[in-house]
Amino acid sequence: MDERLVLWDVDHTLIDSLGLGGAAYQRIFPQVTGQPMRRPALMDGRTDLGTIDHMLRSHDIEPTRELVAAMTAALAGVFDEVRVELADNGRVLPGAREALVAFDADPLVHQSVLTGNTAEVARIKLGAFGLLDHVDLDIGAFGDDHLRRGGLVPIARERAADKLGIDFAPERTVLIGDTLNDVRAAQESGAHLIAVATGSYSADELRSAGAEVVFDALPAPEELRLALG
């Protein structure tokens, strides 16, 4: 097998973070905008930039660069405050740590994350569960890099090429995630997808959306390794 760039989703693929994202948005929106939050944040695999843009526009607020930056900074601040609660009450999903450890030891696998979380929030979440040592965040892509999840894939590929000197063609890039937005990101970018029904979508829903490789939960590392293609 040629070398692979493996890009993990974070929430509901690697970890369960207690639904703190929605609560964080409820907290920061009135603080930053001075207005009450009348509609819930739509996340579900969206990037934080996409969520913030939608939230502001749905409240008739122009998403200026300064306002978006204030929102992302406030979001990171909330997660920094609750990192102990996250570690105490959240959890690493079954099979995730084992897969990360196995892939970290595999010289043909270079792994990072492709997540809707901002880089700082992703770092806080992964650090809370002791997972940071197994992923190279320098070659990942985050929710403050692009409005759309599909736009993150070429960013991660470019970062990997810059750092590792390897051109990971789309077919050598593997996304592992649990949402329909992960499926769409793979379809848009040409990346290979491994879908896991560990979030709000069933295996059948993921397959219906176009995912060809679907697991009910993360399998043993050996089986997951074979699924990389």
Of 86, 116, 133, the one marking the end of a domain is 86
CA dihedral (121, 210, 108, 127) in degrees, to 10, reads 20
Give CA–CA dist 9/25, Å, rounded. Answer: 20
Q: Is 20 helix (H, G, I), strand (E, B) or coil?
A: helix
82 with 94, same domain: the answer is: no
For residues 95 and 32, membership in a common domain is answered with: no
The pair of structure tokens assigned to 18 is: 């207690």
User: Residue 8 forms beta bridges with which residues?
Assistant: 113, 176
Spatial distance between the Cα atoms of 25 and 41, rounded to a whole number of angstroms: 7
**What integer pLDDT is reported at residue 44 of this predicted model?**
76
- φ/ψ region of 19 (left if φ > 0, alpha if ψ in -120 to 50, else beta) reads left
Q: Please give the Cα distance from 182 to 142 (Å, whole number).
A: 13
131 & 213 share domain: yes
pLDDT value for 55: 94
Print the domain residue range for 129: 4-17+90-226
Cβ distance 103 to 135 under 8 Å?
Answer: no
- DSSP secondary-structure letter at 114? B
Indicate if 135 and 192 belong to the same structural domain.
Answer: yes
| Same domain (yes/no): 111, 192 | yes
Answer whether 8's CB lies under 8 Å from 114's CB: yes
What pLDDT, on a 0 to 100 scale, did the predictor assign at position 40?
81
Residue 22's pLDDT is what? 82
Q: How far apart are CA 153 and CA 114, in angstroms?
A: 7
Which residues have CB under 8 Å from 84's CB, separation 6+?
128
Tens of pLDDT, residues 92-127: 999 999 999 999 999 999 999 999 999 999 999 999
Same domain, 78 and 101: no
In this structure, the answer to whether residues 107 and 200 fall within a common structural domain is yes
pLDDT reported for residue 123: 98
**Per-residue model confidence (pLDDT) at position 203:** 98
The whole-angstrom separation of Cα 52 and Cα 55 is: 5
pLDDT at 217: 98
Does one domain contain both 40 and 146? no
CATH number where 209 lies: 3.40.50.1000
pLDDT at 229: 85
Our count of domains for the chain comes to 2
Domain end position, chosen among 86, 106, 135: 86
**Do both 25 and 12 map to the same domain?**
no
Q: What is the pTM of this model?
A: 0.95
What pLDDT is recorded for position 155?
99
Q: Are residues 130 and 204 in the same domain?
A: yes
Low-confidence residues of the chain, pLDDT below 50?
Answer: none
The reported pLDDT for the residue numbered 20 is 79
Side by side, which strands form the sheet with 4-8? 109-113, 4-8, 173-177, 192-196, 213-215
Residues 6+ apart with CB under 8 A from 150: 184, 185, 188, 189
Domain boundary among 58, 86, 114: 86
- State whether 135 and 179 are in the same domain: yes
pLDDT at 122: 97
Please indicate, yes or no, whether residues 71 and 157 belong to a single structural domain of this protein: no
Which residues lie below 8 Å from residue 3, measured CB to CB, with a gap of 6+? 108, 109, 110, 166, 168, 172
